[in-house]
Amino acid sequence: MLVLGIESSCDETAAAIIQGGCRLLSNIIASQIETHRPFGGVVPEIASREHLIKIVEVVNQACEKAEVKLSDLDGIAVTYGPGLVGSLLVGVCYAKSLSYVLKKPLVGVNHLEGHIYSVVFENPPIEYPALAMVVSGGHTSIYFMPEAEKYKLIGHTRDDASGEAYDKVAKLLGLGYPGGPIIDRLAHKGNKDLAPLVFSLPRMEDNRYDFSFSGLKTAVLRYVKEQGIEALAKGAEPTEEICNLAASFQHSAVHSLIVPLRKAITDFQPKTIILSGGVACNSALRMEAKSLSEKMKIPLYYPSPILTTDNGAMIAAAGYPKLLRGERVGLELTATSSLKLQNLDLPSEDKPKGKIRYRLS
């Protein structure tokens, strides 16, 4: 089965064609980073306009790279949420048009489910139950998956997403956008012990798997003011002081992610750990997650860098099993900016170590 995946939830216009659920034939991504860089973040109206300009070309390039015609497709999968509503609408409307004209089946895919499926191309089949941590500029969540396509959100950020925290700290220091790759690079040059942030992990009394990054952001801001650190001028080389601060921030940010993940692994005893989303490309997070998986003796799956960012391949992969079993959506499909990923109901009491009870909804 040949499936076209279309992704336009934020600032990447992406399309990919896969075969058989996990064979990648093409993966085309038109990034808008340079367009949004002067603003230090994504401007929704500009993003949707860029999608309108690029989507036809991106889909055509995906077909050319895969050496297939649109008429050869067996199905189409498109992201319909969560994300920026204007950006989502571009992808959804174009996918519905293709489906209608070509008379090809169409399914809508949750963007977060797509990130989880990004690991299927380069790893062995997922063994269940599994735990998936999705970390990106807009999302920081942990999902329990007792079986394929069954999700229970067990932990999420109470404020900023991890990637958003990276971007805001980078902006504060004058490092540019996006902040994640820049801080990751500078952290390797710095010494975290020379810029200690007064920050401790928040205690989530009502959910031990939740995250919070607002305290860490405040700690960075306080340290910058106390030390009289000025933001870098455009084109200036990062100072040793800023490199040390980047190392300290990254150490705390990664620690904030790993601790709840460790608790979830201990309680839920998964057979597979999945790390996905744009921040999954962070070298320190990958190293700590890999170390944790080795200690727990549970395999860790994460995608290659090109598949960590938003892409059409992951949407096609998530849509494949739905198309295979005959799921279809019609022209009523629309963008849902706050779409949730959860179709399981777990007991609300503290989860005991060992087997977890769940109910399918």
Which tens digit of pLDDT belongs to each residue from 97-111? Answer: 999 999 999 999 999
In this prediction, residue 194 carries a pLDDT of 86
The pTM of this model reads 0.90
> In the block, which residue shows the tokens 């979830």?
264
In whole angstroms, what is the distance from residue 249 CA to residue 34 CA? 25
Instruction: Fill in the amino acid letter for 150.
Output: K
- Residue 176: exposure state from Cβ atoms within 10 A (0-12, 13-18, ≥19): middle
Q: Domain 2-118+306-339, what fold?
A: Nucleotidyltransferase; domain 5 (3.30.420)
In this prediction, residue 351 carries a pLDDT of 42
In this prediction, residue 234 carries a pLDDT of 83
The overall average pLDDT reported for the chain is 91
In whole angstroms, what is the distance from residue 303 CA to residue 4 CA? 19
Q: Is the pLDDT of residue 349 over 70?
A: no
| Across 193-197, average pLDDT | 84
Angle 179-187/283-296 helices, nearest 10 degrees? 70
| Across 57-71, average pLDDT | 98
Q: Do 111 and 338 contact (CB within 8 A), yes or no? A: no
| Across 13-20, average pLDDT | 98
Question: Residue 182's pLDDT band (boundaries 50, 70, 90)?
Answer: very high
Q: Is the pLDDT of residue 348 over 50?
A: no
Q: For domain 130-302, which architecture applies? A: 2-Layer Sandwich (3.30)
> In the block, which residue shows the tokens 């744009």?
278
Q: Which tens digit of pLDDT belongs to each residue from 200-237?
A: 666 666 668 999 998 899 999 999 999 999 999 888 99
Structure token pair of residue 153: 């959100």
Q: Count of CB atoms within 10 A of residue 273's CB?
A: 22
**Do 2-118+306-339 and 130-302 show the same overall fold?**
yes
Give domain limits for the chain.
Answer: 2-118+306-339, 130-302
Angle 240-268/179-187 helices, nearest 10 degrees? 100
Q: Which tens digit of pLDDT belongs to each residue from 130-142?
A: 999 999 988 999 9
Distance, CA of 119 to chain centre: 12
Instruction: Fill in the amino acid letter for 111.
Output: H
3-state secondary structure (DSSP) of residue 98: helix
Q: Do 267 and 259 contact (CB within 8 A), yes or no? A: no
Distance, CA of 58 to chain centre: 21
